[in-house]
Structure 1
């Protein structure tokens, strides 16, 4: 069984390509089953976030081309359109890549903690869809353990650096005093919750939370003395917002250019700072054309993020050492599976020999031979049968000068040199 990951991220693909290859929660189960049915893939997990889409597969004879073709077909895109932006890793490099991703070493924000939760959720979704098995099950459980060790044993997560933190930092540069500002947060996921927490810590005047499910909006808003609305109420409340941060899983924009134009008129053109963290985008790209609007996407936050990374670089080097150690550990487990079949066959062969010789010894006893004589026959004959083939092969290796085979035999049988003299 071989392992492969195929994907693209913020380093290899622009936002417009990434958003065309996302797997929203409404289609991901169908996608997992389609990938397993239409290719030679036997196990599959799909990780889809605002910054990356990755397919993790265990397969017998499929490869990059087949999985790439499926990815394009599923999203209705020509393979040549997406292929230049894709990367792939097999076996050991696949394992290393996943460990780095889950540990936050491959994120736009080095060491950001949200990715581990997203990896866990992706694996759980695949497990519920019955597209995981022994290989990916072991790999992802191993990954969760390593990512936890990285966060425990290094300082990679100590600095408050995240996309949400970067968005709030930028807001603080534009509005020096957040206590006078109202923030409209669209969505109720982990990123929006982090943004709400950072805004609250910096004393933002008021928080409004908009979400498709009003109950979730209420739950989040209540934590920060905020106000909850549904997505359909955004046009009514947008004129109140000085800061808008959006991160939903909607396949279509939830804030259009016309809505923002109307809000600006009611605000008498007081500026609005908007951050669209979602992929696909929540805020129509044309909004950036409007005067008095400062619209940033996840890619635009890169410069802000870079300023907060220096303290994590040394921790990242330590984390890579931990990752490399555990890559070797997992690959050792994977290689050990190759020996399982051989061990089973060898034991079966020995048991057949045992049963054959035991039957002959029992017949001797039934014919009148003493138990002692029959036991001596059993021990002598079974020993000769078990040692015949290895002895013959070792003798032939010595005759042909195959020193490597002789060394392997010495290691395998743990022969005591003193006893061989």
Structure 2
């Protein structure tokens, strides 16, 4: 079975394109059904984050053109809009890619840990939708095992560097003493938990957390002595905050230019620092045109992140070695499974021949045949039938200039070993 991975990420596509092909949770069930029908894949999984959208498919290795057309159509794009940004990996390269993704080696932030959790969620979602079978299950389980080994055996996860950390680091460029500033976090997911932790470590004491679900907002805010509010209440609090960091799963912006303009008048143009981590974006891009607003997206964090990558480069080399070993181990497992299937078929065929010849011999015995003659005939008939087709194929391969088939036959039956044993028997010494 072929494995194909297709996708775009922060290296191949700008945030404007990434947000257009991001999958919302509400459409995942529909996406799985359409994707498998369009591609002919027997198994599928979809990973959609702020930095990448990737499809993992088991089945036909020629499915890429059909998947490109489907992906573009699903998101109301033309295939040409995606072609330049799309990458395709097959078989061993696809296995290596998914393992590098899980280990954080393909992330904007080298070694960032969130992607492993996101990949596990993608696998769980594929299983919930009946899209993942034995092949992808084996792939993901091996991938998670390799990622865990990398986390425990290398230093790639030390001194965590993440998009959340980079966002807070950039805030220092605007506010030297962040203990005087109030932060508004829009969203209450795992990324925002990291943001809140880094802001707290940076000295921020006054928090607001806005979320679609008030309970989640209050839980995150309460952990840092802050207040939880609903998304609809954001305009009432904009004038009081200095730092705004947003990361929700909303398909549309939750903070618009008009609301920020009104808040700026109340603030007497005290500056805002904003980071929009979400894809699709939570803050209207037009907000960046306002004076006294410093708005950044995930792509703008690249420089801060790259400065923090260098300390992890040695660990990354170790991690790449572990990925290579993991890929080889997985491919070996697949080959072993193929061998088991072939051996099962070979044994079944031999057993059919055995039963046929045995039944023939029993009929002869029941009809009064000589037991010794019947036994010799059984052995001769079984030997001839077992060796006939292999003998025909070996002669054919030799005629076609494929001598390796003869070598494989000698290796399979250890003919060289047998000849060596015979040459050392007492009669020949």
Same fold (TM over 0.5): yes
Q: CA deviation at 1:174?
A: 2.3
Structure 2 length as normaliser, TM-score? 0.91
Question: Structure 1 residues 381, 314: closer, same or farther in 2, change over 3 A?
Answer: same
Q: Distance in 1 between matches of 2:323 and 2:15?
A: 29
Aligned match of 1:151: 151
Do the aligned residues in 1 keep the contact of 2:397 with 2:403 (CA within 8 Å)?
yes
Taking the TM superposition and a 5 Å limit, the aligned residue runs for 1:180-259 are: 180-259=180-259
Q: CA deviation at 1:172?
A: 2.5
1:124 aligns with 2:100: no
Question: Structure 1 residues 61, 112: closer, same or farther in 2, change over 3 A?
Answer: closer
Aligned match of 2:328: 328
Aligned residues: 421
Question: Structure 1 residues 216, 414: closer, same or farther in 2, change over 3 A?
Answer: farther
Q: CA deviation at 1:39?
A: 3.0
Q: CA deviation at 1:366?
A: 3.8
Q: Where does structure 1 lack aligned partners over 5 or more consecutive residues?
A: none
Question: Structure 1 residues 292, 410: closer, same or farther in 2, change over 3 A?
Answer: same
Q: Distance in 2 between matches of 1:123 and 1:160?
A: 25
Moved more, 347-356 or 386-395: 386-395
Q: Where does structure 2 lack aligned partners over 5 or more consecutive residues?
A: 424-429
Question: Structure 1 residues 370, 216: closer, same or farther in 2, change over 3 A?
Answer: farther
Do the aligned residues in 2 keep the contact of 1:146 with 1:323 (CA within 8 Å)?
yes
1:419 aligns with 2:401: no
Structure 1 length as normaliser, TM-score? 0.93
Aligned match of 2:115: 115
Question: Structure 1 residues 47, 395: closer, same or farther in 2, change over 3 A?
Answer: closer
Q: Distance in 1 between matches of 2:100 and 2:61?
A: 26
Do the aligned residues in 2 keep the contact of 1:186 with 1:245 (CA within 8 Å)?
yes
Do the aligned residues in 1 keep the contact of 2:38 with 2:67 (CA within 8 Å)?
no
- SS where residue 26 of structure 1 aligns? helix
Aligned match of 1:103: 103
Taking the TM superposition and a 5 Å limit, the aligned residue runs for 1:65-104 are: 65-104=65-104
Do the aligned residues in 2 keep the contact of 1:41 with 1:62 (CA within 8 Å)?
no
- SS where residue 308 of structure 2 aligns? coil
1:50 aligns with 2:60: no
- SS where residue 26 of structure 2 aligns? coil
Q: CA deviation at 1:406?
A: 2.7
- SS where residue 207 of structure 1 aligns? strand
- SS where residue 309 of structure 1 aligns? helix
Q: Distance in 1 between matches of 2:398 and 2:289?
A: 82
Q: Distance in 1 between matches of 2:394 and 2:33?
A: 51
Q: CA deviation at 1:309?
A: 0.8
Q: Distance in 2 between matches of 1:60 and 1:9?
A: 23
Question: Structure 1 residues 401, 271: closer, same or farther in 2, change over 3 A?
Answer: closer
Do the aligned residues in 2 keep the contact of 1:207 with 1:224 (CA within 8 Å)?
yes
Q: Distance in 1 between matches of 2:95 and 2:326?
A: 9
Q: CA deviation at 1:7?
A: 1.0
Do the aligned residues in 2 keep the contact of 1:187 with 1:209 (CA within 8 Å)?
yes
Question: Structure 1 residues 200, 371: closer, same or farther in 2, change over 3 A?
Answer: farther
Q: CA deviation at 1:136?
A: 1.7
Question: Structure 1 residues 302, 411: closer, same or farther in 2, change over 3 A?
Answer: same
- SS where residue 273 of structure 2 aligns? strand
Q: Distance in 2 between matches of 1:97 and 1:151?
A: 17
